[in-house]
């Protein structure tokens, strides 16, 4: 019995857990500041949803109210009725947007991951110069690269096709930069050990590299979905049956500014709901993977 107690005592941790070196007032102040920031970030979303639920008389009320007093879904039903009157069906606009978003996002993640793996783990002539060009490209916004992209797509005969939206998404420099920075933290000894076990480059990339950089491609997925879902692509797409959902919704909401004010509020909610859902579904995975994927060589 004494021996058992000795072993139990031996197993107790010798180092006590350190307590935070701040007062109760400091904790209250920190939480109060965080609460103010949370309100400032959530308020636009709450106001947009509330406006979409307001009847037309409440939308023109002054001073405006934050929450709807008589909430209803009439604005959304009116929006879908207006969309159904178009000679191109509503489902066609949805398909165009979903197809471009899914293909552009998946393709960008895979191409950026493959290129970043080579740049991060292999030395070859011109590799550093190429990455310098990628970093330089981060300084240019989409407005600057719009005309060169149009010229390239025109030379490739891809204007008025889905590829005019998807191909530029593949070449976004943000993905390559982000993936390379994460992959540089993976120890080379892990890859060499996998090679000694008989794993090929493809298997190492798919089963080791991609899971370890999950925070990077989940973050990249959020940015891609946000950009592609909200892209109107009116500079590249001319055929009505190939137009994006955002473009169709903008055309409807701008038809009659007064009569369609409620539909305009509903359009704002429809355009932002998918990126928000993508962020909410992947946020916990991003935080969990960031906390548990630290490796040291």
Q: Where are the domains of the chain?
A: 21-72, 79-292
Please give the Cα distance from 269 to 50 (Å, whole number).
10
- Domain 79-292 in CATH: superfamily? MetI-like (1.10.3720.10)
pTM score, two decimals?
0.75
Per-residue model confidence as pLDDT tens digits over 76-103: 887 777 777 777 777 888 898 899 999 9
Least confident residue range of 86-95, 129-138, 219-228: 86-95
Q: What is the pLDDT of residues 161-217, one digit of tens each?
A: 899 999 988 988 888 988 888 888 888 888 888 888 888 888 888 888 888 888 888
Structure confidence at residue 108 as a pLDDT band (50, 70, 90): very high
Residues 6+ apart with CB under 8 A from 215: 182, 286, 289, 290, 293
Q: Please, which pLDDT band fits residue 107 given cuts at 50, 70 and 90?
A: very high
Give Cβ neighbours of residue 274 (< 8 Å, ≥ 6 apart): 225, 229
Residue 5 has pLDDT above 60, yes or no: no
Give the pLDDT confidence score for residue 105 in this predicted structure.
Answer: 92
* pLDDT reported for residue 22: 63
């Amino acid at each position: 019995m004494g021996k058992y107690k000795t072993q139990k005592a031996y197993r107790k941790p010798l180092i006590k857990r350190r307590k935070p070196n701040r007062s109760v007032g400091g904790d209250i102040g920190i939480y109060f500041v965080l609460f103010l920031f949370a309100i400032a970030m959530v308020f636009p979303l709450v106001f947009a949803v509330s406006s979409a639920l307001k009847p037309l008389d409440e939308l023109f009320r002054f001073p405006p109210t934050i929450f709807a007093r008589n909430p209803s879904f009439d604005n959304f039903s009116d929006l879908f009725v207006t969309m159904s009157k178009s000679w191109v069906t509503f489902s066609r606009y949805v398909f165009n947007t979903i197809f471009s978003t899914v293909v552009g996002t998946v393709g960008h993640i895979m191409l950026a991951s493959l290129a970043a793996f080579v740049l991060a783990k292999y030395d070859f002539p011109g590799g550093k110069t190429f990455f310098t060009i990628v970093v330089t490209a981060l300084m240019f916004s989409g407005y600057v690269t719009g005309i060169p992209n149009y010229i390239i797509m025109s030379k490739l005969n891809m204007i008025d096709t889905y590829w005019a939206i998807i191909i530029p998404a593949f070449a976004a420099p943000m993905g390559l930069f982000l993936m390379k920075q994460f992959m540089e933290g993976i120890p080379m000894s892990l890859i060499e050990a996998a090679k000694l076990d008989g794993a090929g480059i493809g298997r190492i990339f798919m089963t080791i590299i991609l899971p370890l950089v999950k925070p990077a491609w989940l973050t990249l997925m959020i940015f891609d979905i946000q950009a592609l879902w909200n892209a109107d692509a009116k500079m590249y797409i001319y055929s009505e049956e190939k137009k994006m959902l955002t473009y169709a919704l903008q055309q409807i909401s701008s038809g009659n500014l007064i009569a369609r004010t409620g539909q305009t509020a509903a359009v704002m909610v429809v355009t932002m709901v998918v990126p928000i859902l993508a962020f909410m579904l992947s946020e916990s995975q991003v935080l969990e993977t960031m906390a548990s994927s630290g490796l040291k060589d």
